Amino acid sequence: MRRRPRIAASIALVALLGTSAPSDEGSGISQDSRGQGRAFFGWTGVSAQTTRLSGRCAEAVLFPPTPADLAPLDRWSQSSALLSPSDDPTLVVVSGKETVAGQTVSSTPSTSSSLYLNLSNPIVDLSSPPWQAFATAAPIASYASFVPLSSSSTLFFGGDASSDPSFAVQTGNDSSWLLSLTSTSTSLTPSWTHETAALWPNQPERRESAFTASATNGTLTRAWVFGGQRADGSGMSFGEMWELQVTVDAKGGVSAPRWAMWSGTGGPPSTYDGTAVLVPSTQSNAMPSIYLIGGVQVVDGTSTLAPLDSVWVFTPNARLGGGSWAQVKMRNAPSGRRGHVAVEVGAGKIWIQGGRSADGSMVLSDSAVLDTQKKTWTRTKAGQQVWGQSAAMVGETVVMAFGYGANAPAPTALSVYAPANDTWLTAYYPSFITIPPTNPKSSGHTTTAASPAAPSSPASSTDPSTSPSDSSTTAPDSASPGADSSSDPSSSSPSSSSGSGSSDAPEWTAPGSAASPPSGGGDSSSGSSSGEGSSKPSGGTVAGAVVGSILGALALGVAGAFAVRRYRDNSRHSYTGDDDIA
């Protein structure tokens, strides 16, 4: 009897290993006509795109379309943050305003809708990003703060909630919400908790357009809220610096909240509608510094744009609410602005784009990068005219979405910028890695990512003898679940004034961030693209594609030879009847 040739296993092996290059046709990601990723398949271990599936065959994961996928609405004055649930960098956009017929930019009511965009997959068509909508309503507010506390938790604070009938008074101490995300293979599920005045009695008064930043060491997160404007339409602005500390567990949950207000002398004037940027320190285990970029400052009742040739820098110390301010001069500064975006792009550099004039009559398109080490601004290639947009640094690229243009909402297409070679890209390719926290106490919590590259410390620009003195008033929110009024979580954070600490002390990074690969970074010469307007992935991703192609070719050759020999052996058996096949 003739035996059936046994080559099915060989064909399966070829099919398994033959797909490796992260290009449009062979990235292991099925693309529909709009460029939306629909499924993973193939071998992903040789690609620098993600570490979640590294070294093993990925399972099929389907992402069904949603209404937000098909027709995302215009949006501005929204809140946004980059999180990393399940190690996938995800841009979360909450509330804000969406176009309503017959309404103006200011009269449009706020929305409770929220979206998220998984940035672990390539997006080859920037005009149709695969946004997904959250089914659960978010707080109704515009110009609110959205501060990451862990890889999957954020603080939603303040904002103009006049569209929400539940908040008739816009000056209460009741505007804090906690968002917790639970991830599955296909979606994210949000859980909102309103931290009322009864639960968090020491939280600040509601405010809109505040400056915010946060840093975590894996078990403790410190978040800062500076300035802002009273949300009751009075025009009153704030010059306060508040700090929130929370404990972070192994799953990214937060507890034991404690608020405190900085109560030193000196510091910046009341300011709002600017951006706070976290710049990690070059000193081992030292606290990062917070740079206030732009906005509207109020001095003696007169409102003017905060100049960019003189930047206020806050350096926290180990005490809750503690730290020092310094005003640092910068050279070659661009014009002041409000409503812009500013992100730390690695090596201690801050990139800004867009914004508008003090009265909103002029919308800007220019961009520039501030080298905090050299204290110098450098102009970079302009983008679109837009203010109120969202931006996040993901590996080697900055991803921007939404906002308002000169006379209408900005297009819903994404904008992607590569700071390493000052290039606007025509497609998005992942170029990130996720790194577990270095705190040994945070065992099991692997979704906090490190900040890009090694930035500079503002310490060299700060004269301790001229820095305003500081003190702090601490008052635990003992009514909150898990709060401990007898202990100060800040005692576990290393001092930033001396940079000292134990050798195993954790580094402080931005919660939920996605860092560049080791070969990348904001100051790398390799870049995220290979030319003007290029939509090619970064050098690390290309290298992964080359290695993957080589491995795929080798596997194809080995499997082919095996199949040929097996076929010959079975042919020999059919003619000789010899079962002794080697």
- The answer on pLDDT for 459 being more than 70 is no
Based on the fold, state whether residues 151 and 253 are members of the same structural domain. Answer: yes
pLDDT digits (tens, 9 = 90+) for 163-182: 998 898 899 999 999 999 99
- The answer on pLDDT for 301 being more than 80 is yes
pLDDT digits (tens, 9 = 90+) for 5-14: 433 433 333 3
Asked if the structure places residue 370 within a domain, the reply is yes
Residue with tokens 């497609």: 427
3-state secondary structure of 539: helix
Most confident of 12-21, 167-176, 534-543: 167-176
Least confident of 17-21, 327-331, 547-551: 17-21
- In 136-236, the DSSP E strands lie at 145-148, 153-157, 176-183, 188-195, 211-216, 220-226
Asked if the structure places residue 418 within a domain, the reply is yes
Does residue 126 contact residue 192 with C-beta atoms inside 8 Å?
A: no
- The answer on pLDDT for 336 being more than 80 is yes
- The answer on pLDDT for 300 being more than 90 is yes
Least confident of 41-50, 134-143, 188-197, 504-513: 41-50
- Mean pLDDT to the nearest integer, 288-303: 97
pLDDT: which is higher, 542 or 300: 300
In this structure, the number of other CB atoms found within 10 A of the CB of residue 15 comes to 12
pLDDT: which is higher, 90 or 473: 90
Q: Which amino acid is at 116?
A: Y
Based on the fold, state whether residues 135 and 149 are members of the same structural domain. Answer: yes
- The answer on pLDDT for 523 being more than 90 is no
Based on the fold, state whether residues 13 and 132 are members of the same structural domain. Answer: no
Based on the fold, state whether residues 382 and 395 are members of the same structural domain. Answer: yes
Boundary (domain end) residue, out of 397, 418, 442: 442
Domain count, the chain: 2
Residue with tokens 């996938």: 88
pLDDT digits (tens, 9 = 90+) for 390-431: 999 999 999 999 999 999 999 999 999 999 999 999 999 998
Residue with tokens 């297009």: 411
CATH number for the domain that contains residue 184: 2.120.10.80
Based on the fold, state whether residues 224 and 285 are members of the same structural domain. Answer: yes
Q: How many helices (H) and strands (E) does the chain have?
A: 3, 30
The structure's pTM equals 0.70
Based on the fold, state whether residues 180 and 237 are members of the same structural domain. Answer: yes
Asked if the structure places residue 489 within a domain, the reply is no
pLDDT: which is higher, 51 or 192: 192
- The answer on pLDDT for 78 being more than 60 is yes
- The answer on pLDDT for 326 being more than 90 is yes
Based on the fold, state whether residues 146 and 31 are members of the same structural domain. Answer: no
Give pLDDT, residue 556. Answer: 55
Boundary (domain end) residue, out of 392, 424, 442: 442
Which of 135, 134, 130 shows the shortest CA–CA distance to 65?
Answer: 130
Asked if the structure places residue 496 within a domain, the reply is no
Asked if the structure places residue 499 within a domain, the reply is no
- The answer on pLDDT for 573 being more than 60 is no
pLDDT digits (tens, 9 = 90+) for 269-289: 999 999 999 999 888 778 999
- The answer on pLDDT for 538 being more than 60 is no
- The answer on pLDDT for 262 being more than 70 is yes
Q: How confident is the model at residue 127 (pLDDT cuts 50, 70, 90)?
A: very high
- Mean pLDDT to the nearest integer, 4-26: 36
- The answer on pLDDT for 68 being more than 80 is no
Distances (CA, A) of 171 to 165, 168, 175: 14, 9, 9
Based on the fold, state whether residues 74 and 17 are members of the same structural domain. Answer: no
- Cα separation, 129 vs 90, in Å, equals 13
- The answer on pLDDT for 236 being more than 90 is yes
Give pLDDT, residue 438. Answer: 44
Based on the fold, state whether residues 355 and 422 are members of the same structural domain. Answer: yes
- The answer on pLDDT for 352 being more than 90 is yes
- The answer on pLDDT for 319 being more than 70 is yes
Asked if the structure places residue 473 within a domain, the reply is no
- Mean pLDDT to the nearest integer, 531-552: 44
Q: How confident is the model at residue 545 (pLDDT cuts 50, 70, 90)?
A: very low
Chain center to CA of 499: 26
Give pLDDT, residue 483. Answer: 37
Asked if the structure places residue 142 within a domain, the reply is yes
- The answer on pLDDT for 119 being more than 80 is yes
3-state secondary structure of 490: helix
* Average pLDDT of every residue of the chain: 75
- The answer on pLDDT for 290 being more than 50 is yes
- The answer on pLDDT for 448 being more than 90 is no
Does residue 414 contact residue 429 with C-beta atoms inside 8 Å?
A: no
Based on the fold, state whether residues 37 and 115 are members of the same structural domain. Answer: no
Does residue 349 contact residue 523 with C-beta atoms inside 8 Å?
A: yes
Give pLDDT, residue 72. Answer: 60
Give pLDDT, residue 53. Answer: 28
Q: The domain containing residue 367 runs over which residues?
A: 67-442
- The answer on pLDDT for 257 being more than 50 is yes
Give pLDDT, residue 324. Answer: 97
Give pLDDT, residue 284. Answer: 75
Residue 250, CA atoms < 13 Å, CB-side half-sphere: 5
Asked if the structure places residue 475 within a domain, the reply is no
Based on the fold, state whether residues 327 and 368 are members of the same structural domain. Answer: yes
Least confident of 47-56, 78-87, 238-247, 338-347: 47-56
Question: β-strands 376-380, 367-371: how paired?
Answer: antiparallel
Give pLDDT, residue 168. Answer: 81
Boundary (domain end) residue, out of 412, 442, 472: 442
Based on the fold, state whether residues 305 and 177 are members of the same structural domain. Answer: yes
Percent of the chain with pLDDT over 90: 58
**Dihedral of alpha carbons 199, 201, 205, 208, sign:** negative
